Amino acid sequence: MGQLSDLNWLTRFLSETPGDEQVGGSSRQVPNACWSRVLPTPAPNPKLRLWSDEIGSLIGLDRGEAEVLGGGKPVTGMDTYAQRYGGHQFGNWAGQLGDGRAITLGEVDTGSGVWELQLKGSGETPYSRHSDGKAVLRSSIREFLCSEAMFHLGVPTTRALSLVTTGEQVMRDMLYNGNKQLEQGAVVCRVAPSFIRLGSFQIHAMMGDKETLESIVEHTLKHHFPDCGFDEDGIIEWARVVAKTTAEMIAHWMRVGFVHGVMNTDNMSIHGLTIDYGPYGWLEDYNPGWTPNTTDSGRRRYRYGAQPQIGAWNIARFLEAISPLVENTDRLTEVLEFYISSYEDSMNQIWADKLGLSAFIESDSELIIELNELLQKVETDMTIFFRELGSIQEPNIEELKFAFYDESSIPNEEWNAWLAKWWERVDSNPDREKMMQTNPKYVLRNWMAQLAIDAAENEDYSVCEELHRLLKAPYDEQLVFESNWYHKRPEWARHRVGCSMLSCSS
């Protein structure tokens, strides 16, 4: 364990892909480049507020160094840059986007793996598109806590190492409705094998720059998909891995009730990791039409129930992007079909596990469809319902009442009929252990994150710490936390900004 300067820093992405000749500078188009060197903006009064011991140990880092992790002078070995990428935003090609408020410190070789460390919120880059490149405390807490919670839920995700407040005030219009306010600035250091996205390939394909496309594909295969050679077979195999890991990630989102909120192609990792925690949310009542993102409230493109199809749409855009490198493009169509079958396979397994079945069989589809319909009849808490289902002693809805908001409105007969069917299917003996490992007791409900934010905005980080600890074991009963954190959404949170309404402003 040591300091940032003791780590073994690599600069593979910078040395193997073409970059910007200019260092730093203001917002502009940077044709034919995968990155621009840029220095983070130092924080006036950096304070380390949250730290992940697990990620610290993973990369061999002792707790500390608020200054560098808050955007201060890079240490020897770091070569800091912002990545250039593009993306489809809400279904439309948006051209060059890039790291507008993220700056990579470098890649750390731990001997057993290489991790990219990236600051989010440490100032302007050539990709800031006339925004400030900063992040506020509320969105930084949401990213820190949720990425760690997702990891422990078994959902593929980027990780978080630290959260530093900058001591600077940042102006934000939280709901884009003209109510600007000063908020505390913060920087999260996040960690992943890389922050390469689907949009990292799209930008070059869309600009007709095959040479740069080849260069970033070759780099990506060499380091991140070493089993795939840089030829047509290798590229197709890689695309299949991307399709499969993306499908599996989304199946896990569906399992735990996570809604990403902004599934633009620039927010989709090439590693099938959940990335860019913005206006995400968790289903409380089981409403497939729900999205937490008010920016998307009209069309609700990224609602919970649409996520699997959006994943397919995004993979199709990725396949288009790599198509200049493939002669037999029928093979790309097959990859898209493979995404769909991978998703179905994952989801069938997940449903079997959620319901404690020994294995999924075709006829279970009916049971699952009926369950989905019933869960939507009256306001029902998804997390509590599935958790409690794992411990009922007989197929009677009485035992699951705690999951319903209004007990007097429960369609008892329909539920009992469904429960009887399920009970028969599992031979009165569901695989309870499997259910308890699949249906979490604790997730980062929107109001839980909001309580942590409210306290932190008043310099009290104890709620953040408590949630960080709680969510490291989301499948354990943790009875001491039950009364505070295992219950349905409280009434105050129903319409509160930050709980039921979020935007991309962060």
- Residue 481 contact partner, candidates Mg ion, ligand AMP, none, CB within 5 to 8 A by sort of partner: none
In the bound complex, what is the minimum distance in angstroms from residue 121's beta carbon to ligand AMP?
8
Which pair of tokens denotes residue 29? Answer: 């188009």
Q: Is 278 in the site for ligand AMP (CB under 6 A)?
A: yes
Measured from the CB atom, the residue of 198 and 382 that comes closer to Mg ion is 198
In the bound complex, what is the minimum distance in angstroms from residue 333's beta carbon to ligand AMP?
29
Contact region with ligand AMP (CB under 6 A), list: 124-132, 298-306, 331-339, 441-449: 124-132
Residues 84-103 interacting with ligand AMP (rule: CB under 6 A)? 97-101
Residues 6+ apart with CB under 8 A from 310: 263, 301, 302
User: Which single residue brings its beta carbon nearest to ligand AMP?
Assistant: 100
| CA 167 distance to own-chain centroid | 27
Residues 400-439 interacting with ligand AMP (rule: CB under 6 A)? none
Residues in the interface with ligand AMP (CB under 6 A) total 18
**Cα angle for residues 159, 197, 327 (degrees, 5° grid):** 145
Query: Smallest Cα–Cα separation from 49: which of 62, 61, 63, 60?
Result: 63
Element (H, E) at 163: strand 159-173
16, 62, 79, 132: which one contacts ligand AMP (CB under 6 A)?
A: 132
Q: For binding to Mg ion (CB under 5 A), which residues are involved?
A: 267, 276
Measured from the CB atom, the residue of 311 and 395 that comes closer to Mg ion is 311
Give the integer Cα–Cα distance in Å for 92 and 118: 27
In the bound complex, what is the minimum distance in angstroms from residue 323's beta carbon to Mg ion?
24
Residues 192-211 interacting with ligand AMP (rule: CB under 6 A)? none
Give the integer Cα–Cα distance in Å for 164 and 17: 31
Measured from the CB atom, the residue of 275 and 283 that comes closer to Mg ion is 275
Q: Is 128 in the site for ligand AMP (CB under 6 A)?
A: yes
In the bound complex, what is the minimum distance in angstroms from residue 265's beta carbon to ligand AMP?
10
65, 183, 248, 276: which one contacts ligand AMP (CB under 6 A)?
A: 276
DSSP string, 259-294: E-S---GGGSBTTS-B---SS-EE-SB--TT--SBG
266 is known as an active-site residue: yes
Phi and psi, residue 173, nearest 5°: -105, 90
Contact region with ligand AMP (CB under 6 A), list: 45-53, 108-116, 125-133, 408-416: 125-133
Query: Smallest Cα–Cα separation from 487: which of 389, 388, 366?
Result: 388
In the bound complex, what is the minimum distance in angstroms from residue 225's beta carbon to ligand AMP?
24
In the bound complex, what is the minimum distance in angstroms from residue 83's beta carbon to ligand AMP?
9
Residues 6+ apart with CB under 8 A from 408: none
22, 57, 131, 372: which one contacts ligand AMP (CB under 6 A)?
A: 131
Instruction: Give the torsion sign (CA, 431, 433, 436, 438).
Output: negative
Element (H, E) at 46: none
- Catalytic choice (20, 99, 266, 285): 266
Measured from the CB atom, the residue of 383 and 503 that comes closer to ligand AMP is 503
Measured from the CB atom, the residue of 132 and 345 that comes closer to ligand AMP is 132
**Beta strand ranges found along 201-275 (DSSP E):** 258-259
Q: How far is CA 431 from CA 257, 337, 383, 428, 437, in A?
A: 21, 32, 18, 10, 10
**Beta strand ranges found along 174-298 (DSSP E):** 180-192, 258-259, 281-282
Do residues 123 and 133 make contact, with C-beta atoms less than 8 angstroms apart? yes
Measured from the CB atom, the residue of 307 and 438 that comes closer to ligand AMP is 307
Measured from the CB atom, the residue of 1 and 182 that comes closer to ligand AMP is 182
Measured from the CB atom, the residue of 238 and 277 that comes closer to ligand AMP is 277
Q: Is 288 in the site for ligand AMP (CB under 6 A)?
A: no
Q: Is 116 in the site for ligand AMP (CB under 6 A)?
A: no
Q: Burial level of 257, CB count in 10 A (0-12/13-18/19+)? A: buried
- Residue 133 contact partner, candidates ligand AMP, Mg ion, none, CB within 5 to 8 A by sort of partner: ligand AMP
Query: Smallest Cα–Cα separation from 338: which of 237, 228, 420?
Result: 237
Measured from the CB atom, the residue of 134 and 219 that comes closer to ligand AMP is 134
Contact region with ligand AMP (CB under 6 A), list: 259-267, 283-291, 322-330, 415-423: 259-267
In the bound complex, what is the minimum distance in angstroms from residue 38's beta carbon to Mg ion?
17
Query: Smallest Cα–Cα separation from 382: which of 269, 287, 494?
Result: 287
Q: Is 29 in the site for ligand AMP (CB under 6 A)?
A: no
Give the integer Cα–Cα distance in Å for 67 and 144: 18
- Residue 345 contact partner, candidates ligand AMP, Mg ion, none, CB within 5 to 8 A by sort of partner: none
In the bound complex, what is the minimum distance in angstroms from residue 262's beta carbon to ligand AMP?
5
- Residue 132 contact partner, candidates Mg ion, ligand AMP, none, CB within 5 to 8 A by sort of partner: ligand AMP
188, 213, 262, 435: which one contacts ligand AMP (CB under 6 A)?
A: 262
Do residues 58 and 192 make contact, with C-beta atoms less than 8 angstroms apart? no
- Residue 83 contact partner, candidates ligand AMP, Mg ion, none, CB within 5 to 8 A by sort of partner: none
Which residue matches tokens 């869960």? 375
Which pair of tokens denotes residue 283? Answer: 């289903």
- Residue 131 contact partner, candidates Mg ion, ligand AMP, none, CB within 5 to 8 A by sort of partner: ligand AMP
Task: Assign 3-state DSSP to the chain and report helix, strand, coil percentages, each to 5.
Answer: 45, 15, 40
Q: Which residues bind ligand AMP (CB under 6 A)?
A: 97-101, 127-129, 131-134, 262, 266-267, 276, 278, 504
Residues designated catalytic: 266
